[in-house]
Amino acid sequence: MLFSSITFLFYFLPLLLIIYFIVLKKFKNLVLFIFSLLFYFYGEPKYGFLLILSCIINYIMGILIVKHRKYDKIFLIIALTYDIGSLLYFKYLDFFIENINNIFKSEIPFFYIVMPIGISFFTFQTISYIVDIYNKKVKPSKNFLNFATYVCLFPQLVAGPIVRYQTIENELKNRESNYDTFALGIKRFTIGLAKKVLIANLLGELCTSLAAISNQSVTSYLFQAVGYTLQIYFDFSGYSDMAIGLGLFFGFHFLENFNYPLIASSITDFWRRWHISLSSFFRDYVYIPLGGNRVSLLKWIRNIFIVWFLTGFWHGASWNFILWGIYFAIILVLEKRVYGKYLKNTKIFKYIYTLILVVISFIIFKCENTIDIKIFLSSMFGLNNLPFINIETLYYIRSYLILFIIAIISATPLLKVIARKIKPVAFLEPIIYIGIMILVTAYLVDSSFNPFLYFRF
């Protein structure tokens, strides 16, 4: 079930809110848990048991780690074996078989496993929980319902952000939902919904149309590249905004997941701003345990490549994602050891440099094989004898130019700064948000194009 769907907006969410706010406080987690399971089973009825089993195993192992510290490593290994093992089996097994067959010319049959929705996200949450208990950063939950609510909580269940137990531990036990928090949640959710439906979806339509034209041009490839970068940003950041807003409805405060990454001044800065919950996960649970930067140069380079190989591989069982991760590893090593200090001293170039590299990265991310990547990049840079622009490209540019301008402005803090300075009359604010909801609803009723890119991961 998508947040940006009629079913969710006008059936699931209103029914949940009515029941949640009329039940006694002691039953609120139970209501959230049941509705979160309904939310998951609606989209993934086949693998719902996997989610529940993950809750049971990690809950028990968390308690045993603390109760029997002498054998804590054994219980940690059991939990991690299940968590990582289920991820490897459901997400990567056929990928491994395919590559073994290609290398050894074997004919091992495929399992054709359908990946459970959200497994990359809720598995990372349980991993962070069990590792933090082992490292004595958090105490295990004594209440299974509270823990299961944390793992299954529907706002972040299928597409993040990756919420750590310590972030909402106290709120699972005791939280307040007041008018101000709820109002802030409505605003945040509405903004995220608009980013997803009114910007990301329309950019997706543009990119699909440009990819399908018979006579391509350099400009059509450029617009596809920039359009896809903006699409995936508004798609995923919009979903994160909606998740944060929904959390506020029920008194949960999730950490920010995006901080205007497309205005970053370096790739290092970009990854401080993009998918913050994922990059911080790999920093805390892989990079630092490997030694971080407090090791020799060669080991540090090894650490960077391990982290970014895993970051790329986490996104999907495909070589283009691995290449995408390695691409960033190379750039980050060069920034930190070769030209980073010179880059900081430039005024405009550092932003242009970052944007170009980010756009190239999402071409690698989008294309499914190296041949497609090569064709796309060479065409975009005018190396395939294509015209710079043609009539078909011009048609789509004219049709979507206003959208492009809105998307570019919205990817910066400009609108936020203007809103703070203007401070519109109080009664106008709800009218603006109601207007956005009417536009979103009209689009959803009229259009069948409503994908969510990160459901693939």
Alpha-carbon gap, residue 133 to 142, rounded angstroms: 13
Given 68, 253, 275, 315, the catalytic residue = 315
Q: Taking a C-beta distance cutoff of 8 angstroms, is the pair 246, 161 a contact?
A: no
Angle at 328 between CA 256 and CA 306, to 5 degrees: 90
Cα-trace Rg, the chain: 23
Tokens in use for 84? 């990582």
Q: What is the dihedral of CA 146, 147, 150, 154, to 10 degrees?
A: -80
Q: What are phi and psi of 391, to 5 degrees?
A: -65, -45
E runs forming strands in 215-275: none
- Report whether 241 contacts 195 (CB < 8 A): yes
Of the chain, the end-to-end C-alpha distance in Å amounts to 16
Task: Say which DSSP state 136 is in.
Answer: T
Task: State yes or no: is 253 an active-site residue.
Answer: no
What would the DSSP string read from start to end of 61-82? Answer: HHHHHHHTGGGHHHHHHHHHHH
d(CA 433, CA 300): 48
Cβ count within 10 A of residue 3 = 26
Which residues are identified as catalytic? Answer: 315
